[in-house]
Amino acid sequence: MRLWPFGKGDEESVEYVSRVVGATTKDGVELRGKLTLHFTASTPAKDADDVGDRGASALAAIMGGTASNELLGNEAALAQRVLPLVAILRPIRSAELVALHVVGGVASEPPPPRRTPSAPPPAHRRSSSQILAVRDGRLFPLGATPEIAGGGLVPLLRDSAARVLVGTLRAYDLVVVRALDVEDDGALSQGSFIPVSTAAPGKFAEERAGEIERWRERLGDLSLAALTGEAATVVCFFLGRCLESESVDTNVATRIVSSAAPLSFAELTPLADLPRYLVSPSDATLAYVTRVLAIVGADARAASGLVTALAPVLSSVQEEFFLAAGQVKLSNLKV
């Protein structure tokens, strides 16, 4: 039985898979980067995710046993070390690592080698991740203003909000409508709630328009509009929090979010609704779930199940914002 009758099913295939990987190196420096594995042929999304997870674990292990100055600037060689470790699962055409950076600052002496660009991606590629592609280690030009940076993050914000919305609708269907115990039911994988996309950056909502429209018919215009607005609000909150976690100046972070939000969600008001998350930022997932249950008029006792179901979705969004925040830090924005 298909879990989500309004979706596209489990037949989706992808041509590559991406993971944001973080690890503390042998000399105590925390690094983070984006690993992408390109398959020799289209691969079922579920199998691709297994390969992505294995690749992320392998890369983290390699990083953890190596000094930071041997890693920074050597992304291409590092990716090649991962390739044979995952090729036993699926034939891999190539592996690439981009945007490898020090989390929250710069590496201690000795300084890292100069970065070298990774090889360009193959044409017409698809991914099971919605992370915005980062080329040459930057999302936007060095010295850009916070407003330009905010504009550069628009596709990522739009896709993240759409992922959260679709993931929420699917979780609601299972937890509230079908009353399934997602915490105890071993047949359900929490990762299954993370929507898979083959769309171009910024186009995920358009790709899922059919699924979203069927939920509109089921929930009504007002409820779906409220859920859409709440998804936009929570991703704006996560972006701001990730910028803060990466030690981006508070004024700069505020200007980035304030610029990106209206460009990403012209007909919504996510900035006006942010205070509900700022009151208790450590409980953002629970605050989001509580708001969702209120919108759909569901029993508050379903909160625990929804938190379990949505945690992977919200975590995947935050991982991508952490990478984006790292690029903000590296870009030396002009204040």
What are the tens digits of pLDDT across the range 160-204? 999 999 999 999 998 999 888 776 544 354 445 666 677 788 888
- b/e map of 143-180 (b: 16 or more CB within 10 Å)? ebbbbbbbbbbbbbbbbbbbbbbbbbbbbbbbbbeeeb
- Give pLDDT, residue 247: 85
The type of residue at 332 is N
φ, ψ of residue 151 in degrees (nearest 5) = -65, -35
Integer Cα distance of 1 and 188 in angstroms: 12
The type of residue at 80 is Q
User: Which helix (H) or strand (E) segment is 320 a member of?
Assistant: helix 303-330
**Residues with Cβ < 8 Å from 172, sequence gap 6 or more?**
292, 296, 298, 306
- Give pLDDT, residue 139: 65
> Closest Cα to residue 118, out of 62, 77, 83, 70?
77
Integer Cα distance of 252 and 143 in angstroms: 13
Kindly report the number of other CB atoms within 10 A of residue 35's CB atom: 25
- Between the two ends of the chain, the Cα-to-Cα distance in Å is 54
Rg (CA), the chain: 20
- Give pLDDT, residue 297: 94
CB 175 within 8 A of CB 305: yes
**Residues with Cβ < 8 Å from 307, sequence gap 6 or more?**
285, 286, 289
- b/e map of 284-305 (b: 16 or more CB within 10 Å)? bbebbbbbbbebbebeeebbeb
Integer Cα distance of 175 and 178 in angstroms: 6
- Give pLDDT, residue 327: 82
Strands 13-24 and 92-102, bridge-based pairing: unpaired
CATH number, span 13-129: 3.30.479.30
Question: What are the residue boundaries of the structural domains of the chain, listed by start?
Answer: 13-129, 151-330
Integer Cα distance of 251 and 185 in angstroms: 45
Q: Which two tokens stand for residue 113?
A: 């080698």
**Residues with Cβ < 8 Å from 2, sequence gap 6 or more?**
9, 10
> Closest Cα to residue 134, out of 271, 330, 291?
330
Regions of the chain with pLDDT less than 50: 1-10, 106-137, 185-187, 189-191
Q: How far, CA to CA in Å, does 118 sit from each of 34, 135, 237?
A: 11, 7, 31
Q: Calculate helix-pair angle for 250-264, 221-245, nearest 10 degrees.
A: 150
User: Which helix (H) or strand (E) segment is 73 a member of?
Assistant: none
- Give pLDDT, residue 181: 77
Longest dimension (CA), the chain: 60
Report pTM.
0.67
3-class secondary structure, 30: strand
Q: Which two tokens stand for residue 295?
A: 């919108």
